[in-house]
Amino acid sequence: MTISEIKNRFGIIGNSPLLEHALNVARQVAATDLTVLVTGESGSGKEVFAQIVHQQSARKHGAFIAVNCGAIPEGTIDSELFGHEKGSFTGAHEARKGYFEVCNGGTIFLDEVAELPLLTQVRLLRVLETGEFIKVGSSKVQKTDVRVVAATNVNIPDAIARGKFREDLYYRLNTVPLHVPSLRERKEDIHLLFRKFASDFAEKYRMPSLMLQPEAQQILTDYRWPGNVRQLKM
């Protein structure tokens, strides 16, 4: 697919050089099986880029599982990702498969990867390096074939300095860095996005589309947009 076909297919609006660069990286890396680390502020489109990488890859007919690492309690994250054996902890009445087993042949999107506990980081590094994992409470090594696309909006080198993130895992994840620009880095796209969202909204509610006076356009352009595209869409 060309960049403009990808934009159409995934509803990506914008023509700024940084956005086009990110789309190019996503397209080129998709065909490989490399791990990708997507960085960018909240709401900038990281998950959309992860979907592009999956859909443009040879794994597109496999599963795409998105896991928000920051939303899973520390006590259950290993079991969610790697599964557990029956009786491995209080409440584990049945054995359970984890995402890495279920997603064999597909892509796992690990959103907010910097939130993973250090011990889970060790397990993740192992599965990335060897394709091997062990269910919680088991001693049997299992194999899986999963591509990982991880995302973060925190500065991982800082997290490494604070002892919160393993440096070896960072290098392994960051094989291909993909930076999704914030709206401040692509101000020229703000008005385009606004027009698209205003016309979608107008169509949905059968109302005339909002038009902006030049002063109002300038205010939107100068605004910081801490929540990026998600915030503009709301």
Contact positions toward ligand ADP, by CB under 6 A? Answer: 11-14, 40, 42-48, 193, 229-230, 233
The partner in contact with residue 182, picked from Mg ion, ligand ADP, none with C-beta cut-offs of 5 to 8 angstroms by kind, is: none
Q: How far is the CB of 45 from Mg ion (least distance, A)?
A: 9
Task: Give the shortest CB-59-to-ligand ADP separation in angstroms.
Answer: 19
Of 126 and 191, CB closest to ligand ADP: 191
d(CA 211, CA 130): 55
* Crossing angle between the packed helical segments 3-10 and 17-30, to the nearest 10 degrees: 90
Q: Which of 20, 47, 101, 185 binds Mg ion (CB under 5 A)?
A: 47
Is residue 68 within the footprint of Mg ion (CB under 5 A)? Answer: no
CB 67 within 8 A of CB 160: no
CA trace torsion 18, 167, 80, 10 (10° rounding): 10
- Residue number, nearest CB to Mg ion: 47
168 vs 191: CA distance, rounded Å? 41
What is the C-alpha separation between 130 and 95, in angstroms, rounded? 24
| Beta bridge mates, 142 | 133
Residue 192: what residue type? L
CB of 177 to ligand ADP, least distance (A): 15
d(CA 135, CA 155): 30
Q: How far is the CB of 134 from ligand ADP (least distance, A)?
A: 30
- Residue (48 or 160) nearer to ligand ADP, CB: 48
- Residues 135 and 57: their CA atoms lie apart, in Å, by 28
Q: From the list Mg ion, ligand ADP, none, pick the one residue 166 interacts with, judged by a Cβ distance below 5 to 8 Å according to partner type.
A: none
Determine phi and psi for 67, rounding to 5 degrees. Answer: -120, 125
Min. distance of Cβ 46 from Mg ion in angstroms?
Answer: 5
Of 149 and 169, nearer to ligand ADP (C-beta) is: 149
122 binds, among ligand ADP, Mg ion, none (CB under 5 to 8 A by kind): none
Chain residues in the site for Mg ion (CB under 5 A): 47
